[in-house]
Amino acid sequence: MNDIVFKGIDTPNLRQLAVYEANGGYAAVRKALKDIKPDELIEMVKQSGLRGRGGAGFPTGMKWSFVPKVSAEPKYVVVNADESEPGTFKDRELMEKNPHQLLEGIILAAWAIGSHKSFIYIRGEFAHIAKILEAAALEAEARGYLGKNIFGSGFDLDLVIHRGAGAYICGEETALLDSLEGFRGQPRLKPPFPAVKGLYGGPTIVNNVETLSFVPFIVNEGPAAFRKFGTEKSPGTKIFSVSGPVKKPGNYELPLGTPLRKLLEEICGGMLGGHELLAVIPGGSSVPVWNKDYLDVPLDFESVAAKGSLLGSGGVIVMSSKTSMVAATLNLTRFYRHESCGKCTPCREGTYWMEKVLGRIHRGLGMPGDLELLLDLCSTLEGRSFCALGDAAAMPVRSSILMFRDEYEARIREAAGGKTPETAGSR
Amino acid sequence: MTEPKMVTCTIDGRTVTAPEGTLLTDAAKMLGIQIPIFCSHHRLKPLGACRICLIEKEKTGKPVIACAEMVAEGAVFHTQSEMALKARKGIMEYLLVNHPLDCPICDEGGECDLQDTSYEHGIGSSRFVEMKRSFDIVDLGPIVVLDRNRCIVCARCVRYCNDIMGDSALTIEERGFHSQINTRDGGELECQQCGNCIEVCPVGALTSRPYRFKARPWDLKQTETVCNFCSNGCTFHLGRREGTLVRARAKKSHGVNRDFLCARGRYGYEFPTSPERLHFPRIRQGGSLQRAEWSDALGQAVRAIQAARSAGKAVTALASARLSNEDLYLLQRLVREVAASPHLDHRLEQRAPLPGPLLKSLAAFPALPVSAIATLGSALVFGEDVNEEQPLYGTSLLREVHYRRMPVVVAHSRRVRLMQEAASGLPYRPGSELAAARGLLKSLAAHQGAAGPAEEVRKMTAGWSWEALASGSGLTEAQFEKAAATLYSGGSRAIYFGSQALRAAEAPDLVRALIDMALVSGASLVPLWDRSNSQGALDMGVLPDLLPGYEAAPAPGWNTAEILRRSASGEVGVLILAGADPLAHFPDRKLAENALRKADFVLSLDLFETDASEMAHVSLPLRSYAESDGSVTNSERRVQALRSAANPVGESEAGWRIFERLATGLGSAWNYADLLALQEEIRARVPLYKVLGRRMGPAATSWALPGASLPGAQPVGEGKAPAAAAAGTLRVESGNSIFHHGMLSQHNKVQLKLLPGPTLFLAAEDAARLRLAEGDLALLEGPGGKVEARVKIGGPSGPGVGFYPDHFAGAEANRLFGPESPFADIKISTLSAAVHS
Amino acid sequence: MALEFKPAVVDECRKIISRYPQPRSAVLPLLYVAQREFGYVPKEAEALVADLLELPPADVAGVVSFYTMFHRQPVGKYVVQVCRTLSCAIMGGDNLADHLQKKLGIGPGETTPDGKFTLKWVECLASCGTAPVVQINDDYHENLTIQELDRLLDSLR
Ligand SMILES: Cc1cc2nc3c(=O)[nH]c(=O)nc-3n(C[C@H](O)[C@H](O)[C@H](O)COP(=O)(O)O)c2cc1C
Ligand code: SF4
Ligand code: FES
């Protein structure tokens, strides 16, 4: 556990450059700027098999290789530090405790694609973490590790830490770019993809904090060392953020392919007293929910997908028998309704409508046919919305009806007089 | 430019071949297949937000949006498959979640895309049973009403306002299902009031306040015709209800403008059915004009012409360039052939009208349609506030600047809208157009290769010193260099010039320099004339030195200034004013007054009482364009059909009929059975106009003068430097504002709401310097005299240069500016301060 | 009533703008500055920001209202933001929310009459492992119980 990005994460004062460096920090950048050509670096990342940790699992080396070598417009590295997927809180710990590791990853990415300007787009609520990053960047710059002529290599990289202001959709990479450009944070049409035409029209890579934090290790130890962990198609480790009524919730870095049972029962110490496992959302709120029959699924991109859900951001949300699934689904639907950017019809209107229907079921005012209506609304949303938020909104609804239909039907059957259940998870 | 690659794909089992990059919605249209769209719009970039255009693409597993999907070799699409229909039906149902289902009371009813599409997809009601969102209906100023309840957040209005008009007066506020259209603060729209947001709204969320509750679409009798204001020649449908015109509306598929209209086009429909129109012929009797019979009025005119001829005095004519080609053609025939006089003109505002050979050179440049702007590499706009004067060209250029950063150079004395966004600006000092043009010409020639016109021009310009050009124009060599580099940075280029260039005191030299620039840079050259049919007036030879079709007149006659001067000195027997009012438009108002007083006989044909008509001996009521059939020719030389959309007012007559009757009265055997007969004659006499006639639709082709040779570089000297404005004064210029055009629009109530009367626009810093505030009533004193005007900050003014639009009787620009130059240093004093609420 | 930035603040804004390839990008940072200066972002502040960035004011209005963190009305000294998304809700966030409404006597979006507290519901703060969480101004307070919350608020009284 905690083999790569979380290695030594609790070292006192790791935020300080000197401490980070004493623990082997900035060796990767020194080495790369001197001895590794950008193309070779991209090749290394490709070979490592590193996949994006932001949710989509796209191969990072491949993404970098899409950036044109020559470009009339400047190129950019943009770090997605929006961390707004419910159930996910790993990037926060990475930045809070080990900001230089991220900076190192950024410099390496910039070197690989030939960028001289980079941005960390951090969610607005993380004001305190933005300050930590600012301090780290200032220290690095003062030492010549960032800014002009890094390590005397002649390579320049300017870094701007940019705070969002409260909008989940700005985690979606193109909405993030619009937000960073000063527009309403709404997704852009793709193609063109950011790697070709991104920030200010220039080739841009957008990577998650965790993704970039892996890069120094890959440079230092080589792709093979990374591949020692995980599975063939999902190599390496990944941080899982566990929340809900387990004994030891928190972030854990585990090799991909670790079974869910091991994570919940061994590492998190099982359920809190008085709670019995009911359901798990394995990859942040935007993926289908499982009932307790899925504990033996290995947590890697392929295995989770094969079992009808997604690994997503690795935010594992645990629910116990004390939770009403109707209420939990309503809670998430309200979240998506609140966070829908409003650009496209199905998401804007669909989340609104679904919340209304779920709300009436929850309040004991459900009507026969409501479940069919909900499933129908999911079908007209899934694959029809502009961006993946629409799909994300449909998934909890469809999957929870699929897995916990009895509870829904019972509530509709009982429907008489609008009694709101005590169960948490609604408002 | 390289030919685009062609791609073949299949839609609904039929193959279609289209250039790479073609959107599926367009490819489908080529097969006659309509895919519904709401958020897409032909002028806007694809947005892909409303999702109503979902269709099936084989092998994708989920539907794709046709508005953003491009044709791909071998791809197979279905617009009517189960997947496609189900997807669109779902979207339709979602769209109706928050949309009222009360079409019968909606202003858009019957013309609503949402209504049509929901009908098509078989949806009349919704499974949504909860409360819908509800908003109050609000007025966003005099033009637009906003009903957010109907809005489907397609953002067309916001994007049109921002991307096309450059106004950004609208935004979407909030997010998710709270998303709603708003102005910056919920108050009135701060914009050009063009109303295009209303036009592009696919539902009834934005509607027209002037039109609100006036009529239902099916009560309207709608006629397609051409706007009579500027030379863009926008096609629109005039809607008439019970004898009154109640709206103008463009249609997506029609005309050079498609669905675009500017504020004056959209709201300028009232004057033809205004109660102030002249209804009857009048004859001067005992000092005043009295109602008369047509035969008597025409008889007097005929006798006056005969008298002039026998007395050896001149018969002269000044025409309005708003008249139709048919009117203008017959007027020139009347003057030239029947009255045997060469003295006629239509250019009243120009101080130095272009001589015939120069006009012929301009006509020899190939015509360039406004649609070509979409594919131009770069452009120069010289001496034209193109967004204010020629809005269709202005917005078309602005769009390309916004969407593909087209390199544009704007040369103007004021920091006009397009200059603010252009890659390069040449803000020359007022009156220094010529020095600016010559500086740019010198730079352009320096950039081009050895041979050809560039070499000649280099020789010619070698002696011009940068110091003199710079001090003459207020620009620097570096600015000229940058402008030249900008113009050369695109592939195909075009040079546009307009009213400021044409009204300049040195217009002919300036136009020569522009021709040289076009030759040196290989650019198209496009004059943007003042009036809706200025081009036609040139083509029809309403000029002292050119016959119809640019044939040199054997003995050149007098131009406007000469006619008026000769008249003032008693040499003119008859002065025909065919819709023209020299008192309002000729720069030297005193001379014009004298001329009218001293002419033996003044015959006025007009729509309204004007200062000139009231000085006439005989005044005849003319039909307006809205009651006329005929043709007009726009700046892209497209000959377009005018169709009568309203019943003639009183006893008013078409211009050409009046001229015909005058000719027959004078003994000619003219006899046109109808308009077609006249058009046939024009076709025969003016080969350029072979498109004229029966089949002439809104898309009639434009013409080019065949075989005319281009003039070589003209040897000219450097420009003069206008002195700086005197202390305590403001240098002010005049022209058309976006809200009005000429003097006709003062009869339109809606336009008067937008700009109610004489107004001085000036920049905030100048207002501060002169201690003026928005809304103040000010006395303006210039070389021509005094006028009173309201102060307005901003608008088409620029720092150091004010703007005084010329539209209002009693306060015409020529009462303020002297005859010498189109700008003047004006003394301004406050008469009464604005009343602030 | 013309609202203005102090000259030092204008300098600060210009410095921020200079960090970006295009001024428009500085709209969120400048709105934060405005919020810091005026306590919230009134309409006039939008205009100030629009002016500094040479943006149409309507664009700034669209941006301000898109994000949840700009207060468009005056707020209390402490903005108490209760996360109500799933993990927190499960772990007692809903109870905290109920308690706060009763204790402060106000609903979400409202401010106590003494101007001390404004109550807000917010979505997932990325603190799910330490749920429930309440953010007061910039600071996170995690693993909260009703008793701890009470103590916290009392210390701010
Ligand atoms: C609605 C939505 C929200 C997202 N939120 C985040 C986020 O908060 N953080 C993140 O890293 N990626 C998020 N993503 C994924 C990003 O779009 C993008 O895939 C990711 O930043 C790419 O980085 P990676 O390849 O390193 O994972 C989100 C995607 C969607 C559709
Ligand atoms: S699915 Fe549509 S409305 Fe929802 S967030 Fe994406 S673009 Fe916005
Ligand atoms: S027209 Fe295609 S999504 Fe709107």
> Which pLDDT score, from 0 to 100, does residue B706 have?
52
User: From the CA of B727, how far away is ligand 3's center (Å)?
Assistant: 57
Among A79-83, B710-714, B739-743, which range has the highest average pLDDT? A79-83
Same domain, B604 and B641: yes
Q: Is the pLDDT higher at B834 or at C29? A: C29
Instruction: Classify the C-alpha dihedral B101-B107-B109-B115 as positive or negative.
Output: negative
CB atoms C58 and B169 under 8 Å: yes
What residues contact residue A40 under an 8 Å CB cut-off, 6+ apart? none
**Which among C43, C47, C59 has the least Cβ separation from residue B171?**
C59
Calculate mean pLDDT across residues B490-516.
93
Q: Is the pLDDT higher at B738 or at A416? A: B738
Q: How many of the other CB atoms lie within 10 Å of CB of A117?
A: 22
Min Cα distance C130 → chain A (Å) is: 7
Same domain, B379 and B513: yes
Residue B703, pLDDT above cutoff 70: no
Binding site membership of A284 for ligand 1 (Cβ less than 6 Å): no
Residue B37 CA, closest ligand 3 atom number: 1
Binding site membership of A52 for ligand 1 (Cβ less than 6 Å): yes
Same domain, B330 and B345: yes
Q: If you take atom 2 of ligand 2, which residue's CA is the nearest one?
A: A344
B182 touches chain C (CB under 8 A): yes
- Tell me the pLDDT band of B713, cut-offs 50, 70 and 90: very low
> Which pLDDT score, from 0 to 100, does residue B702 have?
55
User: In CATH, which of 3.40.50.1980, 3.40.30.10, 3.40.50.620, 3.20.20.70 is domain C78-156?
Assistant: 3.40.30.10
- Cα-Cα-Cα-Cα torsion B685, B688, B692, B696, nearest 10 degrees, comes to 170
Across the strands, what pairs with B408? B379
Is residue B719 in some structural domain?
A: no
- For chain A, the straight-line distance linking the first and the last C-alpha, in angstroms and rounded, comes to 37
Calculate mean pLDDT across residues A88-93.
98
Across the strands, what pairs with B494? B379, B524
What angle in degrees, to the nearest 10, is found between the helix axes of B466-473 and B477-488?
90
> Which positions 68-107 of A are in contact with B (Cβ < 8 Å)?
none
B91 touches chain A (CB under 8 A): yes
How far apart are alpha carbons B208 and B733 in whole angstroms? 33
Same domain, B268 and B243: yes
What would the two tokens of residue A13 be? Answer: 């004062």
> Which pLDDT score, from 0 to 100, does residue A416 have?
54
Residue C97, pLDDT above cutoff 70: yes
Is residue B541 in some structural domain?
A: yes
CB atoms C66 and B174 under 8 Å: yes
The size of the B-C interface in CB pairs under 8 A is 36
How far apart are alpha carbons A316 and A87 in whole angstroms? 6
> How many domains would you assign to chain B?
5
How far apart are alpha carbons B781 and B824 in whole angstroms? 10
Residue B696, pLDDT above cutoff 60: no
Residue A425, pLDDT above cutoff 50: no
How far apart are alpha carbons B473 and B465 in whole angstroms? 12
> Which positions 343-382 of A are in contact with B (Cβ < 8 Å)?
343-346, 348-353, 356, 373, 379-380
Min Cα distance B421 → chain C (Å) is: 12
* C7-66 CATH: 1.10.10
The size of the A-C interface in CB pairs under 8 A is 156
How far apart are alpha carbons A81 and A31 in whole angstroms? 26
> Which pLDDT score, from 0 to 100, does residue B836 have?
53
Tell me the one-letter amino acid at B390. Q
Select from A347, A403, A343, A407 the least CA-distant residue to A378: A347
Element (H, E) at B619: strand B618-621
Select from B787, B792, B818 the least CA-distant residue to B803: B792
> Which pLDDT score, from 0 to 100, does residue A249 have?
98
Binding site membership of A62 for ligand 1 (Cβ less than 6 Å): no
How far apart are alpha carbons B611 and B743 in whole angstroms? 12
> Which pLDDT score, from 0 to 100, does residue B694 have?
58
**Chains in contact with C, counting 3 or more C-beta pairs less than 8 Å apart as contact:** A, B
> Which pLDDT score, from 0 to 100, does residue C4 have?
95
Residue B719, pLDDT above cutoff 80: no
Express each pLDDT in B546-583 by its tens digit: 999 999 999 999 999 999 999 999 999 999 999 999 99
**Whole-number average pLDDT of chain B:** 91
> Which pLDDT score, from 0 to 100, does residue A422 have?
47
The size of the A-B interface in CB pairs under 8 A is 90
- Tell me the pLDDT band of C131, cut-offs 50, 70 and 90: very high
Residue B51 CA, closest ligand 3 atom number: 3
Is residue B292 in some structural domain?
A: no
Residue A80 CA, closest ligand 1 atom number: 11
- Tell me the pLDDT band of A426, cut-offs 50, 70 and 90: very low
Select from A65, A299, A183 the least CA-distant residue to B171: A183
Select from B774, B740, B805, B794 the least CA-distant residue to B415: B794
Calculate mean pLDDT across residues A268-297.
97
Same domain, B431 and B486: yes
- Tell me the pLDDT band of B1, cut-offs 50, 70 and 90: very low
User: From the CA of A335, how far away is ligand 2's center (Å)?
Assistant: 13
CB atoms C86 and A249 under 8 Å: no
Is residue B405 in some structural domain?
A: yes
Calculate mean pLDDT across residues A45-58.
97
Same domain, B375 and B523: yes
Strand-strand pairing, B6-11 and B76-78 = parallel
How far apart are alpha carbons B276 and A107 in whole angstroms? 75
**Does the interface predicted TM-score (ipTM) exceed 0.85?**
yes
Is residue B827 in some structural domain?
A: yes
Q: How many of the other CB atoms lie within 10 Å of CB of B349?
A: 23
> What is the percent of chain A where pLDDT is above 90?
96
Q: If you take atom 2 of ligand 1, which residue's CA is the nearest one?
A: A172
How far apart are alpha carbons B741 and B125 in whole angstroms? 47
> Which pLDDT score, from 0 to 100, does residue B213 have?
74
> Which pLDDT score, from 0 to 100, does residue B97 have?
87
How far apart are alpha carbons B298 and B618 in whole angstroms? 8
B836 touches chain C (CB under 8 A): no
Hey, of C44, C66, C69, C123, which one would you mutate to test binding to chain B, going by the most B CBs within 10 A of its CB?
C66
SS3 label, residue C3: coil
Residue B704, pLDDT above cutoff 80: no
> Which positions 179-238 of A are in contact with B (Cβ < 8 Å)?
184, 189
How far apart are alpha carbons A237 and B728 in whole angstroms? 76
Q: Which residues of chain C neighbour B167 with C-beta distances below 8 Å?
A: 56
Q: How many of the other CB atoms lie within 10 Å of CB of B187?
A: 12
Say if residue B544 is preceded by a cis peptide, omega within 30 of 0: no
Same domain, B10 and B66: yes
Q: If you take atom 1 of ligand 3, which residue's CA is the nearest one?
A: B37
> Which pLDDT score, from 0 to 100, does residue A143 have?
96
Calculate mean pLDDT across residues B341-370.
93
CB atoms C69 and A89 under 8 Å: no
Strand-strand pairing, B282-285 and B524-527 = unpaired
Residue B485, pLDDT above cutoff 80: yes
SS3 label, residue C45: helix
Tell me the one-letter amino acid at B437. A
What residues contact residue C46 under an 8 Å CB cut-off, 6+ apart? B184, C31, C34, C57, C60, C61, C64
φ and ψ at A201, to 5 degrees?
80, 0
Residue B697, pLDDT above cutoff 50: no
Q: Which residues of chain C neighbour B162 with C-beta distances below 8 Å?
A: 56, 59
- Domain end, chosen from B504, B527, B550, is at B527
Across the strands, what pairs with B804? B734
- Tell me the pLDDT band of B133, cut-offs 50, 70 and 90: confident
Residue A342 CA, closest ligand 2 atom number: 3
Same domain, B506 and B542: no
Select from A81, A82, A135, A137 the least CA-distant residue to A107: A137
C83 touches chain A (CB under 8 A): no
- Tell me the pLDDT band of B835, cut-offs 50, 70 and 90: low
Same domain, B342 and B377: no
How far apart are alpha carbons A304 and C135 in whole angstroms? 34
Min Cα distance C9 → chain A (Å) is: 18
**Whole-number average pLDDT of chain C:** 96
CATH no. for residue B258?
A: 3.30.70.20
Q: In chain B, which residue's Cα lies nearest the Cα of A380?
A: B90
**Chains in contact with B, counting 3 or more C-beta pairs less than 8 Å apart as contact:** A, C
CATH no. for residue B81?
A: 3.10.20.740
Across the strands, what pairs with B832? B777
Ligand nearest to the CA of A80: 1
What would the two tokens of residue B362 be? Answer: 């301009």
Same domain, B523 and B540: no
Range scoring the smallest mean pLDDT among B150-159, B276-285, B462-471, C68-77: B462-471
Range scoring the smallest mean pLDDT among B405-409, B444-448, B631-635: B444-448
Across the strands, what pairs with A230? A235
Residue B92, pLDDT above cutoff 80: yes
Pocket test for ligand 1, best of A51, A173, A332 (most atoms within 8 A of CB): A173
> What is the percent of chain B where pLDDT is above 90?
78
Calculate mean pLDDT across residues A382-405.
97
Task: Give the position of tokens 């859900």.
Answer: A309
Same domain, B743 and B678: no
> Which pLDDT score, from 0 to 100, does residue B721 have?
54
Tell me the one-letter amino acid at C45. A
What would the two tokens of residue B607 be? Answer: 């729509």
Range of the domain at B467: 369-527
Pocket test for ligand 3, best of B23, B24, B38 (most atoms within 8 A of CB): B38
Range scoring the smallest mean pLDDT among A14-18, A383-387, B54-58, B124-128: B124-128
Express each pLDDT in C98-117 by its tens digit: 999 999 999 999 999 999 99
Range list for CATH 1.10.10 in chain C: 7-66
Q: Helices (DSSP H) in A78-172: which residue ranges?
A: 90-97, 99-113, 127-142
Residue C143, pLDDT above cutoff 80: yes
Ligand nearest to the CA of A59: 1
The pTM for the full model equals 0.94
Element (H, E) at B802: strand B801-805
Express each pLDDT in B190-244 by its tens digit: 999 999 999 999 999 999 998 887 777 778 899 999 999 999 999 999 999 988 9
Task: Give the position of tokens 């209504």.
Answer: B115
> Which pLDDT score, from 0 to 100, does residue A30 have?
97
Express each pLDDT in B594-644 by its tens digit: 999 999 999 999 999 999 999 999 999 999 999 999 999 999 899 999 999
Select from A8, B196, A83 the least CA-distant residue to C129: A83
φ and ψ at B116, to 5 degrees?
-60, -45
DSSP characters for B614-649? GG-SEEEEBPPGGG--EEEE-TT-BEEEE---SPPP
Is residue B704 in some structural domain?
A: no
Same domain, B520 and B540: no
- Tell me the pLDDT band of B524, cut-offs 50, 70 and 90: very high
Strand-strand pairing, B572-578 and B601-606 = parallel
Domains of chain A: 17-227 (3.40.50.11540), 237-320 (3.10.20.600), 325-415 (1.20.1440.230)
CB atoms C138 and A332 under 8 Å: no
How far apart are alpha carbons B607 and B278 in whole angstroms? 6
> Which positions 148-187 of A are in contact with B (Cβ < 8 Å)?
167, 184
Alpha-carbon distances, residue C50 vs B99, B155, C28, C39, C53 (angstroms): 33, 21, 11, 18, 5
> Which pLDDT score, from 0 to 100, does residue B635 have?
92
For chain A, state the CA radius of gyration: 22
DSSP characters for B167-236? ----EEES-GGG-EEE-SSSS---S----HHHHH-SSSSEEETTTTTT--GGG-EEEEEE-SSSTT--EE
C89 touches chain B (CB under 8 A): no
